[in-house]
Amino acid sequence: MAVPKSEYLSDSWRDGLFSANACIVGRNVEKTERVAREIASVRSGAKVMGIGAVDVRQFDSLKNAVDRCVAELGGIDYVIAGAAGNFLASIEQLSVNAFKSVMDIDVLGSYNTLKATVPHLVTSGGKHRVDSATNTPSPAGTGGRIIFVSATLHYTGTPFQSHVSVAKAAVDALSNSVAIEYGPLGVTSNIIAPGPIAATEGIERLLPTDIKERYVRMQPLGRLGSVRDIADATVYLFADTGSYVNGQTLVVDGASWRTSVTGSSYGHYPDNLLSGQEIQNVTGKKKEKAKL
């Protein structure tokens, strides 16, 4: 059963704007293949590959997936580098290995994604360049675009998120470097920094249930964002509308980060940070191993 367009994209975009096939990669085989089937249901006749058992921390693992994608679909025009790992922990609670794990997933994973796909993006960017003399878009459409998914945590500093803040700041720097080095080759690189988005794993895993209602009320727009908000931002950057947007960060958070201060989600300075206790009421928190 096809997913209604209103659930994933605004009506502002014309039908058929993108008719591209897609390939998604992930660590979990079943989940990756299931999501690929869901994406394929959006457009009749679409080919969507779901390649699981991919570890973005291992370049060869990712490179093999990219090679499969190119062999099956013929090339790569757009890339979304969204590798991320997160959990709530103070610096006191954060082990060296845990910090390294997040850096490996977010930073190394993003870099590996870039390295594995950038030759194909350069090829695509060369085919879809805007005519500099007439400013006319390529009749073949757009291509040679990469988006890095980041966050706003490091803009002001966020308690229990030092590991991710450091990692996402590095991802931002990587995207900016890509924009400068590969821009002359027709490749654009930009960042989407989502805020609190409803019905996502991030909200379910990282927002304690006992403060969720208060947190939503504190948002400048009085609500959480939607997956469609992020999809619209992606289309903007990948379509002709984003042809001269390069090296930029598109924050899609309803101004949430501008009103955030330490502990604002709690209404006071976090008691857990002062006491050293773990954060409670968080869905998906790893259980401690039994001690002998």
DSSP codes, 248-288: -EEEESTTGGGG--TTTTTTSS-HHHHH-PPPPS-TTPPPP
Q: Is 175 a catalytic residue?
A: no
**Which among 150, 162, 264, 265 is annotated as catalytic?**
150
**List of domains in the chain:** 77-275 (3.40.50.720)
**For the segment 56-100, what is each residue's pLDDT rounded down to a tens digit?**
999 999 999 999 999 999 999 999 999 999 999 999 999 999 999
Q: Which of 28-42, 139-153, 183-197, 252-266 has the lowest mean pLDDT?
A: 252-266
Mean pLDDT of 196-203: 90
pLDDT band at residue 47 under the 50/70/90 scheme: very high
pLDDT band at residue 291 under the 50/70/90 scheme: very low
pLDDT over 60 at 262, yes or no:
no
**Which among 110, 124, 165, 168 is annotated as catalytic?**
168
**For the segment 141-172, what is each residue's pLDDT rounded down to a tens digit?**
999 999 999 999 999 988 899 999 999 999 99
pTM over 0.85: yes
Q: Is 6 a catalytic residue?
A: no
